[in-house]
Structure formats: structure tokens, C-alpha cells
Amino acid sequence: MKIVIIDYGAGNIQSIIFAIKRLGYDAVLSHDVKEIQEADKVIFPGVGEASSAMAKLRASGLDVVIPKLKQPVLGICLGMQLMCRSSEEGNTEGLGIFDLDVKKFSNQVKVPQIGWNQITSLKTDLFKGIPEKSYIYLVHSFYAPLDTETIASAEYGLKYSAALQKDNFYGVQFHPEKSSEAGSTILNNFLTVI
């Protein structure tokens, strides 16, 4: 199985590579369009700021490539947010895979949300074997609202999408590579079940 992590200069990629290695697989870090298109599974990570991350995707032409991918794609954290229509962060136009606009948490809660939180309303095989109210690890100031594409939710001042799915595209707001056993299971489900 060929697993490609999209390399566009945004993200702590090493922890994802190590998490995949712990599951017994090797992942390739690449920005090569052909290599990404030929992968069995694609992981689209992201840490940082939305507008500069989108600028990097546009500069490499990956903004056109990613929405056309046919194999399973997993967006992580900022990667999931960039898969949405837009983000309030830097007033950024996203990839438009998910028909959602990413919003900033209100000042009623401490921003960013950093740490462990529970996920509920789990749907699809991405969460196979994951009990309701499992704890996952998050670091984010922006969120995707609940929608028909929501496959897991979390609560931080309000309920929001902890995970999204549309066709072959999956997105998780949390970091599976830092979410202990639950995160390992979710990553493994993406690699083997989906």
C-alpha cells in the first residue's frame, strides 16, 4: 500500500510519519503531483495559518490537484479546514470540498482550544471500534460548524464538527497522531478499512 503525505511546508509531519510507522506502514512525504495521484491513501496535514497554507498550495498547483483525487484522502487539523469552502482565518478561500465555512471560536472560551476533548455522534468506518465519548487531542482556534457532512462532533462553547466526510474525502479537526490509542485506531481504520 502506498501512503503519501502531502508536503506543502505546513505541518509537523514527523509525528504523522511515526504514527503510521507504529502501525506497520511506511509513508512517503511528497509534493509530486503524479506520486500523490498514484497513492492508495493520501494524508493532507496542516499546522499553521490558513491563508499562508493556501498560498503554498496555490503556488504548487496542489489546490487544483487535491479536490480531484479519487482515492481516500484524510485531512488533519488545518488540512481539514482547508478542505472547506472558506475560513475566517485570514479571510481565506478554501478548496471547497466540504460545503462549510470555518469560523473562529468566540471570546467566551479560551482560544486556542488545546488539549483533550471527547468526540460523540460517531459515524462511518473511520470510527470503527471507537467508543462514543473517546478522548482525542486538539489544538485549534477555528472550527467547522455542524453539517450534514459531520461524522463526529465535539463541544467547546458550542458543538462543532470534529470530523467530516464527503465521498472519498475525510477530515478530522483533531490530531490522530497525538490522540493515543483512539487516534491510532482511527488512523489504522483510514489505512485498512476505508
175 is catalytic: yes
**List 49, 149, 177, 181, catalytic entry:** 177
84 is catalytic: no
140 is catalytic: no
Task: Report strand pairing: 73-76 vs 41-44.
Answer: parallel
**List 77, 84, 89, 140, catalytic entry:** 77
- Enumerate the active-site residues: 77, 175, 177
